[in-house]
């Protein structure tokens, strides 16, 4: 379902540009990905205190998505899914990746950056990478091996915190200690690339990956002090300020697009990699005051709060300003959407789970071949797989209460990933029950039978494709 605020305005855009059109004025792409930003963490998504004027403005300039989903409820899989258009278990990115781990996004996976680069785009990644364990090492592929001509990245979190990080690498060379906050440093790098580094004869793809508001949180004192009257304590004030600081960085990036006269031909997509972290779930999560809004669950859960995230699209002349859409859009859709807009007709030679969301620009439903699907063996709570078909969400579990979640992928986990079967199911109508308070499994037996069968079929397909990692190598 869609709600367009000014129905008299319509902006037509073909679902796939013709080869002739693709060579002329191909659009630029800026994808902005936050880390652990909850559905309820922005003012334009209802947060009562956090100030996000730049993102609020971006939403008024474009479209606010109310059913935007991450590709997974945890960071590394979500990023792998966004880059490849494939549910991350297919590529073997089963969980978040600690440093020096064997898991990585393999070289033979086809990324949106590589496809765009091969089609004549200049490409850059700035910020968190988290698609390998052996970062900046020839032992595993790095951002440059996955299609990014320029990269400025960390393996996982900014260290020792967002303030004055010292673990950034630029194109294979360690940068060393830096002064400032991670989100501002990331945007400064992106803006400098836009001004001085890119090939201005080519369209571009800039993938901007903030560390904020993931722990370890650090925020400017002045912003933190601004929440002293509304936050319950200084730690919560620091979280609120962390989101505001990220918002300010977005504002700086948008101002640069305006200054360089790039905004009118640039699609901007802002979103998050998963839902908000749970307060004090682990020792360093003392400032994790993120909000899922009214949704059930948080990061690591396959209920809505773990996977439904903020989503804002801006594309002047093609997306109606001030519009809103409740059509489900997912991080898995980035590859098919951007390649369609770039006029790339050749598709990857493997299963792609995402679908172009170009139709959303003009208020039309997405024509999905298969329903949206999520699969996370280490999820908190019972459900380990989920599928959304229209207004319906079906979730499947292994038939046992399991409070896993948080730990990284171990050799013993490969049995769970490759052999466990779904045998218990929950069913929700998200149109009537967005908050998932009423399980309809018993009152909708025919629908449950149909959708659970589809879920099991997809689960087994993905389970069979996922590789086994060789530990110790």
* Residue-level pLDDT at 1: 40
* Residue-level pLDDT at 4: 37
Residue 333 has pLDDT above 80, yes or no: yes
Q: Of 34, 68, 75, 209, which one is the catalytic site residue?
A: 75
> Mean pLDDT throughout 99-112?
97
Burial group, residue 444, by CB count within 10 angstroms (0-12, 13-18, 19+): middle
Percent of the chain with pLDDT over 70: 93
Check: CB of residue 164 under 8 Å from CB of residue 178: yes
Burial group, residue 433, by CB count within 10 angstroms (0-12, 13-18, 19+): middle
pLDDT digits 0-9 by tens, 277-320: 999 999 899 999 999 999 999 999 999 999 999 999 999 999 99
pLDDT digits 0-9 by tens, 395-429: 999 986 555 666 899 999 999 899 999 999 999 99
Interatomic CA distance for residues 237 and 223, integer angstroms: 8
Between residues 471 and 19, which one has the greater pLDDT? 471
* Residue-level pLDDT at 399: 83
- Contacts of residues 12-19 at CB distance under 8 Å and 24 or more positions apart, as own/partner, are 12/362, 13/318, 13/358, 13/361, 13/362, 14/358, 15/340, 15/356, 15/358, 15/359, 16/340, 16/343, 16/345, 16/356, 16/358, 17/340, 17/341, 17/342, 17/343, 18/343, 19/343, 19/345
* Residue-level pLDDT at 19: 40
Residue 112 has pLDDT above 60, yes or no: yes
End-to-end CA separation in angstroms for the chain? 49
* Residue-level pLDDT at 22: 44
Backbone angles phi, psi at 393, to 5 degrees: -125, 120
> What's this model's pTM, rounded to 2 decimal places?
0.94
* Residue-level pLDDT at 473: 54
Q: Of 47, 130, 146, 375, which one is the catalytic site residue?
A: 130
Average pLDDT for the chain: 93
Check: CB of residue 167 under 8 Å from CB of residue 154: yes
* Residue-level pLDDT at 407: 85
Interatomic CA distance for residues 358 and 19, integer angstroms: 17
Residue 244 has pLDDT above 70, yes or no: yes
Percent of the chain with pLDDT over 90: 91
- 75 is a catalytic site residue: yes
Interatomic CA distance for residues 193 and 170, integer angstroms: 12
3-class secondary structure, 463 = helix
One-letter-per-residue 3-state SS of 144-201: HHHCCCEEEEECCCCCCCCECCCCCEECCEECCCCCCEHHHHHHHHHHHHHHHHCCCC
Which residues lie closer than 8 Å to 449 by C-beta, 6 or more apart?
A: none
3-class secondary structure, 33 = strand
3-class secondary structure, 419 = helix
* Residue-level pLDDT at 7: 32
Backbone angles phi, psi at 374, to 5 degrees: -130, 150
* Residue-level pLDDT at 472: 76
* Residue-level pLDDT at 210: 98
Residue 219 has pLDDT above 50, yes or no: yes
Interatomic CA distance for residues 31 and 74, integer angstroms: 18
**Given pLDDT bands bounded at 50, 70 and 90, which one contains residue 18?**
very low
* Residue-level pLDDT at 25: 84
Interatomic CA distance for residues 17 and 27, integer angstroms: 11
Residue 141 has pLDDT above 50, yes or no: yes
Between residues 18 and 68, which one has the greater pLDDT? 68
* Residue-level pLDDT at 20: 37
Q: What is the DSSP letter of 418?
A: H
Cis, bond preceding 213 (omega within 30 deg of 0): yes
């Amino acid at each position: 379902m869609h709600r367009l605020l000014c129905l008299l305005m319509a902006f037509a855009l073909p679902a796939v540009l013709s080869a002739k059109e693709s060579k002329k004025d191909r659009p630029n792409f800026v994808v902005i990905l936050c880390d652990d930003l909850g559905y309820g963490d922005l003012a334009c998504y209802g947060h009562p205190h956090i100030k996000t004027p730049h993102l609020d403005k971006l939403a008024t300039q474009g479209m606010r998505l109310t059913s935007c989903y991450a590709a997974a409820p945890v960071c590394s899989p979500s990023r792998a899914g966004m880059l490849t258009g494939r549910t991350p278990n297919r590529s073997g990115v089963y969980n978040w990746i600690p440093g020096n781990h064997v898991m990585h996004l393999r070289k033979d996976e086809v990324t949106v950056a590589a496809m765009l680069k091969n089609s004549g785009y200049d490409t850059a990644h700035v910020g968190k990478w988290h698609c390998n364990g052996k970062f900046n090492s020839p032992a595993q592929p790095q951002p440059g091996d996955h299609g990014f001509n320029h990269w400025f990245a960390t393996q996982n979190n900014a260290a020792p915190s967002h303030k004055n990080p010292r673990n950034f690498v630029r194109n294979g060379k360690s940068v060393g200690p830096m002064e400032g906050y991670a989100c501002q440093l990331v945007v400064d790098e992106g803006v400098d690339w836009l001004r001085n580094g890119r090939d201005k004869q080519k369209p571009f793809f800039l993938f901007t990956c903030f560390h904020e508001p993931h722990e370890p949180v650090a925020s400017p004192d002045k912003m933190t002090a601004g929440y002293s009257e509304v936050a319950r304590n200084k730690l919560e004030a620091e979280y609120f300020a962390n989101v505001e600081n990220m918002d300010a960085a977005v504002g700086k990036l948008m101002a640069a697009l305006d200054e360089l006269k790039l905004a009118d031909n640039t699609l901007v997509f802002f979103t998050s990699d998963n839902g908000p972290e749970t307060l004090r779930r682990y020792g360093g999560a003392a400032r994790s005051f993120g909000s899922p809004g009214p949704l059930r669950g948080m990061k690591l859960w396959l209920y809505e709060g773990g996977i439904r995230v903020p989503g804002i699209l801006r594309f002047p002349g093609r997306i109606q300003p001030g519009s809103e859409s409740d059509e489900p859009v997912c991080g898995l859709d980035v590859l098919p959407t951007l390649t369609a807009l770039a006029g790339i007709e050749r598709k990857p030679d493997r299963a792609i789970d995402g679908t172009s969301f170009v139709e959303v620009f003009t208020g039309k439903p997405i024509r999905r071949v298969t329903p949206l699907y999520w699969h996370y063996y280490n999820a908190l709570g019972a459900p380990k797989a989920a599928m959304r078909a229209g207004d319906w969400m079906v979730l499947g579990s292994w038939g046992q209460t399991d409070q896993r979640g948080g730990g990284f992928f171990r050799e013993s986990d490969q049995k769970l990933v490759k052999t466990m079967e779904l045998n218990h199911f929950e069913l929700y109508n998200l149109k009537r029950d967005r908050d998932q308070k009423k399980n309809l499994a018993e009152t909708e037996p025919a629908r449950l039978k149909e959708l659970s069968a589809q879920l099991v079929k997809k689960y087994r397909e993905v389970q069979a494709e996922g590789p086994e990692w060789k530990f110790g190598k």
